[in-house]
Amino acid sequence: MRAMKWRDTTTVISTRALLVDVLVLMLLVGVGRAEVSRTSGLIAEGSKWENPYSIVDSGVEGPTLLITGGLHGNEPAGYRAAEQIRHWPIRCGKLIVVPRGNTPGLKQGTRWLPGEPDATRNANRNFPKTGEPNEARSVAIKALWKFMQDQSPDWVVDLHEGFDFNIVNAKSDGSSIIYFDTPEMQELAAKIHNDVNSTIANPDRRIVKRSKSGPINGGLVRAAVERLGARGFCFETTYSKQPISIRTRQHRIMVHRLMRELDMVGGQGVNLMTSPDDEAIRVAVYDAGGTGGKGVENLERILESKPTFLLHHVGPEDIRAGVLGQFDVVIFPGGSGSKEAAAIGRDGCAAVQEFVGSGGGYVGICAGAFLATAKYDWSLALVDAKTFTGNREIPGVGVKSMWFRGSGAVKMELTDEGRAILGDLPGLVEVRYANGPILSSAGKEDLPDYVLLAVFRTEISKYEPQEGTMIDTPAIVASEFGAGRAIAISPHPEATAGLESLVQRAVAWVAGESGSVYDSQ
């Protein structure tokens, strides 16, 4: 059976507070004062530009707010934030979310509308321009503009990203709030500006207010203001030097403050990222401090290729705020386990332990496997394992750390338990390795013994004391922790062609999709 959804753990403070808002709305529905309706559909249906939308109508008189994202396909935080915001319960009015304005561009990671000529390839220049006929350009934007006209929103918010921080580089719109300069909009922008910047410590990465020239001519926001009589903002984050989790959080903070001022939401909501109605396995992938390489990117590719999984990026602020209670699984990818632990802090580590102990799933890959062990004062102690580590004096070289072995291809072999959980991969399986932990039992009486899922059959070493210490040691182990499950993976199957299903099955198992790892023992 799958783990219970929306776990009520002591760390999920923000989720509990949010549920108060949800219950208030349910009460209103129950006494006949409001009837919330949710509808969805496709813009440009049947074409390659198909663009999903969702509409939440509170049944209570109030403003209509339309939120868009993903007009530029190389700006993923906007569409990901919009996908999260569409789950928010609203007190009044109507919330319309169109997260993927350029679906093919998002799939390709390109800024432009794929296949469009230079004159119309920029989606956010294809809306009616000031002083020109009320006509949009390109199939995708013509369909979106017609939809917007039909919906007649009172407010619009378009979510974007820039290549650099506007505060230090005026050539980029990144990290800015863009709007037309009116007293009402100035007051709102100041409140939004204060809220989001209170979460940004680095002064060179703070968000600025920009109203001198207003939103770009030919862009969605300017057209909606001039042609539809709406009021609107363009909220920009910056994709340089910042993980997606931070950027989507900044988008959510800005949108949430606007919706609070419109009385559409209560005091909570920023930390709501999923819905308890989601049928897919909801996976939180940690993408911030301590991660490295292409681990997050590879996990996106592998998990988002299957409708079985719904992936969101989370960072330290999200974890400490208790968002894991909305997920089935959290994954910590490669990088540095100690740096990941330091980034989320003691409160974050406690939140992960509480999440798994109350029924959640954990997958740790390389650094995430180090983090899962019971070896260090910073580790999570989800798995009764220690690692081969420490320093050794190497003649003619000096003192070297034993965890540092190098990287390359090694061979591992799945056990019977491993084949039952991870798939029937017979014989020796080649997998990428990069300084993953060499595991053995830690002998902790308060933790169950781990179960071997795969064993290294070849090794990589740099120094003589490491030789022979990797062969026949665990490559992948599984354990139960409280009501939850954990898998620690030393190598990198997510970076190895042909092992995508192994990763998918590991995530499904810790989510509770099959029986206990101890059933066959």
pLDDT in tens, 463-492: 999 999 999 999 999 999 999 999 999 999
Top-tier CATH class for 13-261: alpha beta
Residue 33 has pLDDT above 60, yes or no: no
What number of residues does the chain have? 521
* Contact between residue 178 and residue 210 where contact means Cβ atoms under 8 Å apart: yes
With CA atoms as reference, report the closest residue to 179 among 217, 238, 222, 230. 222
Per the structure block, which two tokens stand in for 510? Answer: 């810790």
Query: What are the structure tokens assigned to 394, written together?
Result: 């190497």
What is the reported pLDDT for 397? 87
Pick the closest to residue 207 from 249, 238, 163, 175 (CA basis).
175
pLDDT at 396: 85
Q: Distance between the two ends of the chain, CA-based, in angstroms?
A: 20
pLDDT digits (tens, 9 = 90+) for 168-196: 999 999 999 999 999 999 999 999 999 99
Amino acid making up residue 463: Y
Q: Which sequence spans correspond to the domains of the chain?
A: 13-261, 281-510
Rounded to 5°, the CA angle 417-327-104 comes to 100
Reported pTM: 0.93
Whole-number pLDDT of residue 412: 98
pLDDT in tens, 400-423: 888 899 999 999 999 999 999 999
Same CATH fold, 281-510 and 13-261?
no
**Distance, CA of 226 to CA of 128 (rounded, Å):** 9
Shortest CA distance to 310 belongs to which of 284, 276, 277, 272?
284
Token representation of residue 248: 């989507």
Closest CA to 109 of 236, 239, 250: 239
Q: Give 42-95 pLDDT, tens digit per residue.
A: 999 999 999 999 999 999 999 999 999 999 999 999 999 999 999 999 999 999
Q: Tell me the pLDDT band of 1, cut-offs 50, 70 and 90.
A: very low
Tokens of 91: 């007190």
302 phi/psi in degrees, rounded to 5: -70, -45
404 burial via Cβ count (<10 Å: 0-12, 13-18, 19+) = exposed
pLDDT at 15 over 50: no
How far apart CA 493 and CA 143 sit, in angstroms, is 42
Look over the chain and give the mean of its residue pLDDT values, rounded to a whole number.
Answer: 93
- For the domain made up of 281-510, the CATH class stated in words is alpha beta
Segment 261-316, tens digit of pLDDT:
999 999 878 999 998 888 999 999 999 999 999 999 999 999 999 999 999 999 99
Read off the pLDDT of each residue in 498-509 and give the average, rounded to a whole number.
98
Question: Over the stretch 70-85, which tens digit does the pLDDT of each residue have?
Answer: 999 999 999 999 999 9
* Cα gap 124→126, rounded to integer Å: 6
Which pLDDT score is estimated for 141?
A: 98
Residue 93 near residue 264, CB atoms below 8 Å: yes
**Rounded Cα distance, 113 and 72, in Å:** 8
Confidence tier at 429 by pLDDT (50, 70, 90)? very high
